[in-house]
Amino acid sequence: MSVLDDIIAGVREDLDVRRQKLSLDEVQTLARQAPAPRDALAALTPRAGGVRVIAEVKRKSPSKGDLSAIQDPAELAAAYERGGAAVISVLTEERRFGGSLADLDAVRAAVDLPLLRKDFTVDEYQIWEARAHGADLILLIVAALDDATLDSFLKLTERLGMHALVETHTPEEVERAVAVGARIIGVNVRNLKTLEIDRSVFAALAGLIPAGAVVVAESGVRDIADVETFVADGAQAVLVGEALVRHSNPELTVGEFARAGSALHH
């Protein structure tokens, strides 16, 4: 069993517990009552003078273990917003990442930026749930979904006024993401089956993504040099977690990352 399979098995168990407390009908009612979603696609569309940063509220990861205690996710998110983040990502997976929907709620109340609910979406319940909790963007991992499910999840997401970050790791997955009409395509340089990082994967895949889609580099950002490399290889946005939560001044770091690569855009 790969790491991804193992994570998804846990996600399904935790989902069953939440579903017993709140039916799909109830979650759908809450989603329809939620304030209108913010436009994450517009927020991630590149503009002159740098790269768009998706800054992540992330306590731990399967590859690195504990990263940061993050006593106050809202305070961290507000620092990201002040630093110039375009979107804030909140991990809601509990077992491996130490996240929760409570973190998402706290961040939603604190910032006005679009929010990515970062989780392993394997059931439409989670898409309605994301909207009910104020998410504007969800993660769809191509490796975790068959084509029909990927297509139906993307359509539901867009019907609810949200967008999806469609995550890929191989040329075949990029092809599948493009085929369903994904408009925000992420290339994860971490292999979710082995957790190994290979930064060269980004350059190899970014060129396969058609113009008009926003290209996001996911994982592997340690510093400004990594951001600049990804931008040079075609990234319009970078998703950064560990390098920000481990830093003593996340606000400053987000700003530095956001300006990185600006010379390459001119």
Which pLDDT tens digits describe the chain residue by residue (266 residues)?
A: 788 899 999 999 999 999 999 999 999 999 999 999 999 999 999 877 679 999 999 777 666 666 566 678 899 999 999 999 999 999 999 988 889 999 999 999 999 999 999 999 999 999 999 999 999 999 999 999 999 999 999 999 999 999 999 999 999 999 999 999 999 999 999 888 788 899 999 999 999 999 999 999 998 888 999 999 999 999 999 999 877 767 678 899 999 999 886 655 44
> Any catalytic annotation for residue 188?
yes
Active site residue 249: no
Beta strand 163-168 with 87-91: parallel, antiparallel or unpaired?
A: unpaired
Q: How many contiguous H segments (helices) and E segments (strands) does the chain have?
A: 12, 10
Is 56 an active-site residue? yes
Owner of token pair 């396969």: 208
Overall CATH class of domain 3-259:
alpha beta
pLDDT of 40 reads 97
Distance from C-alpha of 257 to C-alpha of 161, rounded to nearest angstrom = 29
Q: Which of 218, 228, 242, 256 is catalytic?
A: 218
Catalytic residue among 60, 191, 219, 228: 219
pLDDT of residue 266: 41
pLDDT on residue 242: 79
Known catalytic residue at 219? yes
pTM of the predicted structure, to 2 decimals: 0.94
Contacts of 61 (CB under 8 A, 6+ apart): 67, 96, 97, 241, 242
User: Has 218 been annotated as catalytic?
Assistant: yes
Tell me the torsion sign for CA atoms 35, 89, 217, 193: negative
Q: Could you say which of 173, 188, 191, 242 is catalytic?
A: 188
What length is written for the chain?
A: 266
Q: Choosing from 81, 93, 129, 167, which is the catalytic residue?
A: 167
The answer to whether residue 262 is catalytic is no
**Given the residues 118, 173, 242, 251, the one annotated as active site:** 118
2 noted as active-site residue: no
Residue 91 one-letter amino acid: L
